[in-house]
Amino acid sequence: MSIKSKLRIVTGVFAAIIIAMFIATYVNTWKQENDGFLINLAGRQRMLTQKMTKELYEFVVTTDKSGKPHQEFMEATRMTMKIFDMTLSALKDSGQVPVGLDLKNTEYRFSPAAEGEILSQLQKVTTQWKEFSSTIEIILSNRYSDADLKTINVENIRLLKEMNVAVIMMQEKAEASISKLLTSQIILVVTGLAFMVWVVFIIRDITGRIARMQEFCQLFGQGDLRARSGISGSDELGQMGKSLDNMAMSLQEIMSEIGNDAANLDETSDSLLQISNSVSEECKNSSGRSNSVAAATEEMSVNMNSVAAAVEETANNVSMIADSVSAMTETIKVITSDTERLVAKPVKQWISHSPHQPELMNLVLLQHRSVRLQRPSLKFLNRQIFLP
């Protein structure tokens, strides 16, 4: 149930209790006023019975003395009978009833009809009244006897008793009405007190939850994301408490994720720092190696230039050697040819005249063969030098 509905119920119940108490008091006051008026009328009926009897006896006494009916007492008796009859009829069946005893100069008021036991009792009074009034009419007609006078005495007491019973019933009804008013007032007061207890519990529940919400807001405002309101219920405060707890839980999860991401980012930054340091070291090493390579390259370039110069010089030398070898080859050919030509004949002659001819011939042949064997080697060397 929402707080708005509870407040509406509280307001409505209190308003209903106040209105009910007012209506009950007003109705019972009105009834008491009518009951008081009716009790006065019923009490006046008892007095009228005595008044009629007194006026009737005065009529009888004056008539006996004067020998003729006394008109004043007769009219007084009939006036009292009329008032009693009108009042009894109004009490029993409702109607206008005279407030005073002078019908010409009196105020009339409405009398409600009797109910229940009071109506039954008034009907008995009516029966008694008919008998009593008929006897009075006999006496007022001056045709009465002593028996009629005795009947008046008996019926008067009986009518008085029956009317007294009706008055007592009306008093009891009035008292019962007062008791009902008190009972209704007590019931309404008890209901109001019980409702007040319920209202106190509602107020304590609302104020308690508001206090818990205030404490939660203070803790949450100070940064305690673990704080929870713990407020439950189906009303507005319960829904607000659930929403605040869900908000706090979501925010705590988000902050936890942010913390985890921050830790991961910290680790990642450390790793990146290490990688950066490693890259820096590698860059330094690469720079050193690059310098070394550059120096080596420069040195190699110098060496290559030296080698190129040496190769060029070697090529020149080889060319010179080749030329020399070629010249030597040609010279050797010429020398060989001339040697063969110049030496062949004298050698042959010398050998032929020498006593060691066989040994000399072999020696010459060996030398000649050795020279011929060197010629292919020189040709091969010449070809290798001049290769393309």
- Give residue 127's pLDDT: 92
Residues 6+ apart with CB under 8 A from 99: 106, 107, 108, 109
From CA 59, how far away is CA 78, in angstroms rounded?
A: 11
Per-residue pLDDT of the chain (388 residues; tens, 9 = 90+): 677 777 788 788 878 888 887 787 777 777 667 778 888 988 999 999 999 899 999 999 998 888 788 888 899 999 999 999 999 999 999 899 998 888 888 899 998 888 889 999 999 999 999 999 999 999 888 888 888 889 888 989 999 999 999 999 988 888 887 888 888 888 888 988 888 888 888 888 888 888 888 888 888 888 887 878 777 777 777 778 788 878 888 888 888 888 787 777 777 767 767 776 775 676 577 556 656 645 655 665 566 566 556 556 655 665 665 566 566 566 656 655 655 554 455 545 544 555 555 565 566 556 556 556 655 655 655 565 555 5
- Give residue 68's pLDDT: 81
From CA 221, how far away is CA 214, in angstroms rounded?
A: 10
- Give residue 253's pLDDT: 85
Q: Taking a C-beta distance cutoff of 8 angstroms, is the pair 38, 170 a contact? A: yes
The set of long-range contacts for 30-38, using a CB threshold of 8 Å and a minimum separation of 24, is: 31/174, 31/177, 32/174, 32/177, 32/178, 32/181, 34/112, 35/170, 35/173, 35/174, 35/177, 36/174, 37/109, 37/111, 38/91, 38/111, 38/112, 38/170
Give the torsion through C-alpha atoms of 360, 364, 370, 371, to 10 deg: 160
SS3 content of the chain, % helix, strand, coil (to 5): 85, 0, 10
The set of long-range contacts for 274-279, using a CB threshold of 8 Å and a minimum separation of 24, is: none
Q: Residue 356: what are its φ and ψ, rounded to 5°? A: -105, 45
From CA 177, how far away is CA 26, in angstroms rounded?
A: 12
The set of long-range contacts for 224-231, using a CB threshold of 8 Å and a minimum separation of 24, is: 225/251, 225/252, 225/255, 226/252
Compute the residue count for the chain: 388
- Give residue 31's pLDDT: 67
- Give residue 341's pLDDT: 59
